[in-house]
Every structure is written in C-alpha cells, then in structure tokens.
Homo-oligomer: A and B are copies of this chain.
Amino acid sequence: MNEFLWPVRVYYEDTDAGGVVYYANYLKFMERARTEWLRELGFEQDALRDEEGIIFAVRAVEVEYLKPAHFNDLLNVSVRTLRAGKASVTLTQAVVRDGQTDPLCLATVRLASVDAATLRPKAVPGRVARAIAQTEQTAAADSSATYIE
C-alpha cells in the first residue's frame, strides 16, 4: 500500500459562513481516513480497544491550509506512514479534490499508542506494528510526494 486514499464528500455540516470547509473539520476528515486505513490493514479500533486495551491518541498535528474546499466537493484524503515507533506512529496526510493533484490541505500527524484505561503509552501490539511497518517501507521507496515536516 503505497498510499491509502479515502473519499470524503463535503456536506453543509462541514462548511462555515465563509463558504468553505471549516478549518477544524479537516482534522475530522483525516481521522476518518486513518480509521479506514487501519481497517484496510485489518484492524478495527473498537476491537483494539476492547481486546488489546489500546487506543491511538493524537499527540501532535501540523496542518497547512493551502486552498479551500467547498460544499459538495468530493475529496480524497491520503494516509502515508512517515515513521513507526514502538508506541507511536507518525503519518502524513493530504486532502486533494477528486480529479485534481494540488493538495488543499497537508498534515503531519503524530499518534501515540496508549492504554485505553490509563491513557499512558503502551507498545503497539506486534501484529499491528508489523502491518504498519510494511506501509512504512513502501512509503519510503516512493519519494514523489513532499510534505510539511
């Protein structure tokens, strides 16, 4: 998986009186894509929480807003693994209008694997870590994209 893509339609709920997608809502779109990326890798987050006792918490985000998205736009939100650590994963994500190439929004997102009860760092379970590491290797081989860092 070089790059995972998840389609997101812009509804009225996502826009603001400026006529464009409200800046906080891109973080919702990105979290949807991350959830679907994990599902594609074979992991349901409710099962990870209930069976492995871990949840992925966002520790830091860096977001660049380049061009606005509008009501009714169909967007594609990407997920790429930048670094996978023992109890953390750093991803880069882009929001691109369907059929276009220039990103509207770029982000780097640092996730921590934490204990679902105590919220303290807890190692990513082995099979999850291995699946994510594989996306990292493929991502490293592809140098076509530039992201904020």
Contacts and interface: CB of A to CB of B under 8 A. Distances in A.
Given A62-B62, A72-B45, A55 B11 contact: no
Given A11-B31, A20-B17, A65 B57 contact: yes
Q: How many copies does the complex hold?
A: 4
A119 B104 CA distance: 14
A28 B11 contact: yes
A13 B24 contact: yes
A63 to B, nearest CB: 5
A64 interface: yes
A12 B31 contact: yes
Contacts of A13: 16, 22, 24, 28, 31-32
A140 interface: no
A68 to B, nearest CB: 7
A60 interface: yes
Q: Which 3 A-B pairs have the closest CB atoms?
A: A15-B17, A24-B27, A46-B72
Given A9-B32, A13-B16, 19 more contacts: A11-B28, A12-B17, A12-B31, A12-B35, A13-B22, A13-B31, A17-B17, A23-B31, A24-B25, A24-B27, A24-B31, A27-B27, A46-B71, A58-B65, A59-B64, A59-B65, A60-B62, A60-B63, A63-B63
